[in-house]
Amino acid sequence: MSELERLKLLSSQMHLEPSEGDECPQMSDRQEDSVYTSKAVLPNGQRISLLKTLLTSVCERDCYYCPFRQGRDFRRATFKPDEFAKVFMYMHKANMVDGIFLSSGVINGGVFTQDQILATAEILRRKYNYQGYLHLKVMPGVEKAQVEQAMLLADRISVNLEAPNIDRLRKLAPHKEFTQELLKPLHWANQIRQAQSPHKAWKGTWPSTVTQFVVGGADESDLELLSTTEKLHRQMGLARAYFSRFNPISDTPLENKAPTPLIRQNRLYQASFLIRDYGFNLEEMPFVDEGNLPLEVDPKLAWARTNLVGQPIELNSAPRHMLLRIPGIGPKGVETIINARRELKLRSLSQLTKLGVIARKAAPYILLDGVHPVHQLALF
């Protein structure tokens, strides 16, 4: 195969890997006749064209949900580190892509596979002096020194937990070890970040760490997923959890399992942001049947309907953590409100609109100088 043909094959399923702010599109076992790139949003808000690909689609693991699983009948491809680095730099210099998300199937064990990923990153950084965005996947079963080396080279590293705990992982990937192979590298990354100076890292700061869950593949609850997510944010410095709804892949053990509704994936994102950015804790999540979030309403609005209808928040005096709990107001809106009320009294919804607040969402749950603002009641 030509280099282009290999890259098309290796990138064809990378829509299964949500990353850098793009939501996970509908999964498919169809191979696209093009190189997969995404319009990504970096942690600093910059928008780039991101090449998302594998180094090899050969894999010795047999995860039940995965299109690359061992024994599945499809055409595979592989790049050597120097080959891939050369191809990527050609695309980069031609302004086809700005950054790269590099993962791989597991071949000859996680340690060997990680060495191939690290060798590719070394060539890009050292030989070609590539200064752009680099996201490296950490393979199951790696060594601590490899995690450290990845952190010295990358802008972001990720370890896919896939499931929220040991029992659920057995239903998705029975030969992966949740604690030793997957959770431990995240722990190592946090240890390194806490104990060592990042002055040797390529841009002088440690990369962020993220993970991904397959939603619905192991019949797990939202409570299980968010419980693990909360612990990772607070105990291991996780920057973000990505949620990829399960969709069956042909010629896999789970090919007849029903797909997970897209709305469930979106509700998990909303809830995880409430935990990470808004000060909510797990006990405040509005779980309903069997530990799942309601699908018909976003979790922040569900919380407000229960807690704020009878106790609206005074916008002119409420502390930051309470302002964050009002629907229609995000972190930037909170800062704008705090700055504005140093200069004036907030008395109308039109003032809030000018401050960037979604006033119609906030209106039922607030007071403006002691008065309920007049607002149009919802018909349904």
- Cα–Cα distance measured from residue 101 to residue 42, given in angstroms and rounded to the nearest whole number: 12
pLDDT of residue 293: 97
Give yes or no for a contact between 270 and 278, defined as CB atoms under 8 angstroms apart. Answer: no
Contact 228, 165 (CB under 8 A): yes
pLDDT per position in the chain (380 positions), as tens?
789 889 988 888 888 788 786 543 333 333 445 677 888 888 788 899 999 999 999 999 999 999 999 989 889 999 999 999 999 999 999 999 999 999 999 999 999 999 999 999 999 999 999 999 999 999 999 999 999 999 999 999 999 999 999 999 999 999 999 999 999 999 999 999 999 999 999 889 999 999 999 999 999 999 999 999 999 999 999 999 999 999 999 999 999 999 999 999 999 999 999 999 999 999 999 999 899 999 999 999 999 999 999 999 999 999 999 999 999 999 999 999 999 999 999 999 999 999 989 999 999 999 999 999 875 445 44
Using a 10 angstrom Cβ sphere, with 0-12 exposed, 13-18 middle and 19 or more buried, the burial of residue 37 is: buried
The CA dihedral of 170, 171, 173, 176, to the nearest 10 degrees, is: -10
pLDDT of res. 1: 79
Alpha-carbon 83 to chain mean position = 29
Going across the sheet that includes 208-215, the strands are: 37-41, 47-54, 99-103, 134-137, 156-158, 208-215, 240-245
Rounded Cα gap, residues 352 and 370, in angstroms = 15
For residues 140 and 175, the answer to whether their CB atoms sit within 8 Å is no
Strand partners, 314: 367
pTM of this structure: 0.91
**Taking a C-beta distance cutoff of 8 angstroms, is the pair 118, 150 a contact?**
yes
